[in-house]
Amino acid sequence: MNEATFRTHLQKSLAPLYIISSDETLLAIETVDAIRHKARTEGFSERDSLSSERSFKWEQFSNSLSEMSLFGDKKIIELTIATGKPGKEGAEVLSQLPNLLNDGVVVVLILPRLDAATKKTAWVKTLETIAVWVDIPLVTREEMPRWLKQRCTDMGYQIDSVSLDFLSSRTEGNLLAAKQELQKLALLYPSGTLSLEHIQDVVMDVARYDPFKLYEPLLKRDAARLVRMLQGLEAEGTALTLVVWTAAEEIRTMLKLKEAQQSGGSLSTLMREMRVWGDKEKLMPGALKNFKANMLRATLANLLEVDKAAKGIPSERFSGSPWMVLQTLMLRTIQ
C-alpha cells in the first residue's frame, strides 16, 4: 500500500495489524503518528512501545498482546524491529501473530525496507496475508522537488521551480531536516509565496549524501551536483578512501561496458552480468556515449594516486588536498 492509498484507508476504520516498512525515518514516524491519532479518536487510550534490541525478550510482546487492561481500555502496541530480522524466536512469534490478535488491540510493526531474502521468509509471507502493509520508498533526488512542493502546498505556500530546486539541493537526502527548515520558514512567512530570497535567507545546507550514489551526477554529467556531493561527503567526515573506492568502481564498470560494447557485445546482457540495475541501468546507455575509453582509463590511474594520498602516501602526480584533487579529477572526467 502506498502513501496515498494509506491516507484513504485511515479515513475508514482501523485494521488490527499494520506493518510500516521504510528507510525514510521521517515518513515512517509520520505514518505511525497518523495511526496513533486515528487510534486515539477511536478510544485507544493505552500504548505499549517495544523495541527488539539485544536485551529484548519476545515474551514481552506476547504478554502485551494477552494482557487486558483492568479498565477494559483499548490498546495500541508498537514494535520496532530496527534490523528487519527478528531472529528465530521472533520469527516464530510473528508467524503466530494471526492467532494472537484480539479485539481492542491494534499492533504496529515498524521495520526498515526488507531485503529480498527476508521478504521470502515464512513470517513475512504469513503477515502479508493479514496486515495493512505500508511500504514507503526512499525519496530520491529527482523526487525531492515534488515532495517539497506537496509539503509547501499543505502548509499554504506557493513556490516556483527555481526555489524548489534550490531547496532540494540544500536538503537532499535529509527529509527530517527539510521538514525542520520548512517549519523555520513558516515562523517567518506564515503563508503566501515562498521566494528564492526567502529560502536563501533562512535555509541552511543540511543535505546528506550517500557515496554509493556518486554514479548519479557522474552518469548525468551534472557538475554542480557532483561538487555538492563531494564537498558534502567531506564535511560529513566520510572516509576519503571509501569515496575514492566508490568512484573507481563506477569508472571501472563504465570502462568494462565501454570496451565490451566496442567489441560488439550486447550492452543489456553485459549490464545484467555486471549487476547494473535500477536507475543506473537506465542511465548507463546514454552516459556511455559521452565517455571515451582512454579518458576512463586515465581517470582510474589517477584515482589510484588519490587513494595513495588519502592513505598518507605521497603522490608523484598531485599535491594539495586529496579531496580537492578528487573533485578536480572527477570534474575533468565528465567534461
Task: Write down the pLDDT at residue 72.
Answer: 60
Asked if pLDDT for residue 224 goes beyond 90, the answer is no
Give the pLDDT band (50/70/90) at residue 92.
very high
Asked if pLDDT for residue 320 goes beyond 80, the answer is no
| Residues 6+ away with beta carbon under 8 Å from 287 | 218, 219, 220, 221, 254
> Residue written as cell 546514454?
286
Task: Write down the pLDDT at residue 44.
Answer: 87
Instruction: Tell which phi-psi region holds residue 29, choosing left (phi > 0), alpha (psi between -120 and 50) or beta.
Output: alpha
Task: Write down the pLDDT at residue 125.
Answer: 94
Mean pLDDT, residues 83-98 taken together: 91
Report the distance separating Cα 136 and Cα 242, nearest Å.
28
Asked if pLDDT for residue 260 goes beyond 90, the answer is no
Asked if pLDDT for residue 268 goes beyond 80, the answer is yes
Asked if pLDDT for residue 68 goes beyond 70, the answer is no
CB burial of residue 283 (10 Å; 0-12, 13-18, 19+)? middle
Task: Write down the pLDDT at residue 71.
Answer: 54
Note whether 121 and 91 are within 8 A (CB): yes
CA angle 186, 189, 193 (to 5 degrees): 105
Task: Write down the pLDDT at residue 228.
Answer: 87
Grid coordinates in use for 269?
546482457
Q: Is the dihedral of CA 288, 293, 295, 301 positive or negative?
A: positive
Q: Hey, how many other C-beta atoms are within 10 angstroms of the C-beta on 81?
A: 21
Asked if pLDDT for residue 169 goes beyond 70, the answer is yes
Task: Write down the pLDDT at residue 21.
Answer: 94
Mean pLDDT, residues 62-74 taken together: 72
Report the distance separating Cα 4 and Cα 111, nearest Å.
20
Mean pLDDT, residues 71-82 taken together: 84
Mean pLDDT, residues 109-127 taken together: 93
Crossing angle, helix 161-171 and helix 144-154, to 10 degrees? 110
% residues pLDDT > 70 (the chain): 98
